[in-house]
Chains A and B, each alone.
Chain A
């Protein structure tokens, strides 16, 4: 059974960074691209970017290029997103989601989401 287990809620101070994880199981981690999606409170979904765990290649939505850094650890089958220079705009739930096939494809499995709160 494919599962994406994300880490717990995070609280970050303005100006700091947070790093959240997404541990994959039930499939070969390096065979599928991992995406990250943001959902601000009461708002819709925003695609942040993807990482190919096999090669470490990434792509980001323009607005997240200076905000998010995607990495992957193939030894632990875990994908990460680091959010830097936190502001109140970064308060949101962040989901990881697996692409079905390559980078031009659907998102078939999702993590449960991680709430990040930016507060002083």
Chain B
């Protein structure tokens, strides 16, 4: 099974900061990776699909990149409404979520 490791587990940042979240796969996942945002008490929401494609309706401050085993979600200018837990998810071989990164305001 493919393991997905997200880092850091918790990230504190200020409004306006550029924020980078990481996700590492235990083997090559051929860019078959999404990012989901989950706010407290809500269902997850698809942000980025297939590594770098912005889902409809998602603000352009969110972007994704990566290849092979290493992937990144970037928020170019953090907003208060971005406080949430972010999960990566691979579907290249089986289906696996990462453990999540909790994003907080400093």
Q: Which of B43, B46, B49 has the most CB of A within 10 A?
A: B43
**Is A45 a contact of B44 with CB atoms below 8 Å?**
yes
> B30-73 interface mask toward A, CB cutoff 8 Å, 1 = contact, 0 = none?
00101010100001111001100001000000000000000000
Chain B residues numbered 18-35 whose CB sits less than 8 Å from any CB in chain A: 32, 34
**Is A44 a contact of B98 with CB atoms below 8 Å?**
yes
A47 with B34: in contact, given A62-B1, A111-B43 (CB under 8 Å)?
no
Partner of A107, one of B32, B89, B94: B89
User: Interface size (A, Cβ < 8 Å)?
Assistant: 22
A10: B residues at CB distance < 8 A: none
With A and B bound together, what is the CA distance between A50 and B49 in angstroms? 19
A29: B residues at CB distance < 8 A: none
Partner of B97, one of A44, A100, A106, A111: A44
**Is B43 a contact of A47 with CB atoms below 8 Å?**
no
**Is B49 a contact of A113 with CB atoms below 8 Å?**
no
**For the complex, is A112 an interface residue (Cβ under 8 Å from B)?**
yes
A37: B residues at CB distance < 8 A: 44, 97
> B69-106 interface mask toward A, CB cutoff 8 Å, 1 = contact, 0 = none?
00000000000000001010101101111111000000
A46: B residues at CB distance < 8 A: 97
**Is B34 a contact of A107 with CB atoms below 8 Å?**
yes
> A38-67 interface mask toward B, CB cutoff 8 Å, 1 = contact, 0 = none?
000000111100100000000001100000
* A98: min CB distance to chain B, Å: 10
A45 with B100: in contact, given A100-B49, A110-B44 (CB under 8 Å)?
yes
With A and B bound together, what is the CA distance between A10 and B49 in angstroms? 32
CB-nearest residue of chain B to A47: B95
**For the complex, is A80 an interface residue (Cβ under 8 Å from B)?**
no
**Is A106 a contact of B91 with CB atoms below 8 Å?**
yes
Q: Which of B38, B87, B91 has the most CB of A within 10 A?
A: B91
Given contacts A45-B100, A104-B92, 9 further A-B contacts (CB under 8 A): A37-B97, A44-B97, A44-B98, A44-B99, A100-B49, A107-B36, A108-B49, A111-B43, A113-B43
